[in-house]
Amino acid sequence: LMPRFCWCVFQTEVGRETKDAVRWALEAGYRAVDTAALYRNEAEVGKIVRSGVVPREDIFVTSKVWVNDLSYKGTLAAFDQSMERLGLDYVDLYLIHWPVNDWKGAWRALEEIYQTDRVRAIGVSNFLVHHLEELLKDAEIKPVVNQIEFHPYLQSPVLHSFCRENDIVLTAWAPIMKGRVMQVPELMQIAEKYGKSAVQVTLRWMLQIGVIMIPKSANKDRIISNADIFDFELSDADIAVIESLDRDGRIGPHPDRFG
């Protein structure tokens, strides 16, 4: 089972910064690390995962195939390269990063990799409803995860419902809107009520609605503070306020216009 709370190393500097951030996250209680070929820090992630800070079997490791390699053969080769950089016997989850190029060929490759003992689960990232419908028509194995941009300003209710109906777990990237949740008055108001931060309120909201979140930071205090969300519970009224903030406000690219 994938932990509800993951750590992302997107844009974490290759080398010491990544190694420190992953170690601090594991020490703070995180049990999932999200990386990708694009991030160029798989080697550092693998090194800390193998170091024994936490037993390997207790850590959920996700990586992704980048768009340049999205074809059947390209994905098979990219997976081998990722595994070599990580230095692990298996990854827990492997994703298609964006629905572009020959992503259908890439999915066939993922299904093939899944038949080996080198990956425990396969999924997608940045897929909209029409991509998922197209995938589900031909797929022999259903994606277990769809990792998308998701936060108070972009809640994609139709996509969220579709994923729920098809037993696809939604995972949120940019869950705290690159820190911008700290400037949202409604979130700050709720935070004040609980003696928490707007970041903690946002992450708690996702926990309560069943969305897996992958915040990122290379700052030790923020890594620890982001995990401090298990000692309070938002009311239905609080959740309704957060739901009212949805404005289809993307920070990253639209999947239909990516690349």
Catalytic residues: 39
Report how far residue 177's alpha carbon sits from residue 150's, in angstroms, rounded to the nearest whole number: 8
Q: How far apart are the first and last CA of the chain?
A: 32
Report how far residue 143's alpha carbon sits from residue 95's, in angstroms, rounded to the nearest whole number: 9
Query: By the 8 A CB rule, do 153 and 247 touch?
Result: yes
Owner of token pair 């949120």:
172
Strands 212-213 and 169-173, sheet pairing: parallel
Using CA atoms, how far residue 99 sits from 1, 8, 131, 144, 165, in Å, is 25, 20, 7, 16, 21
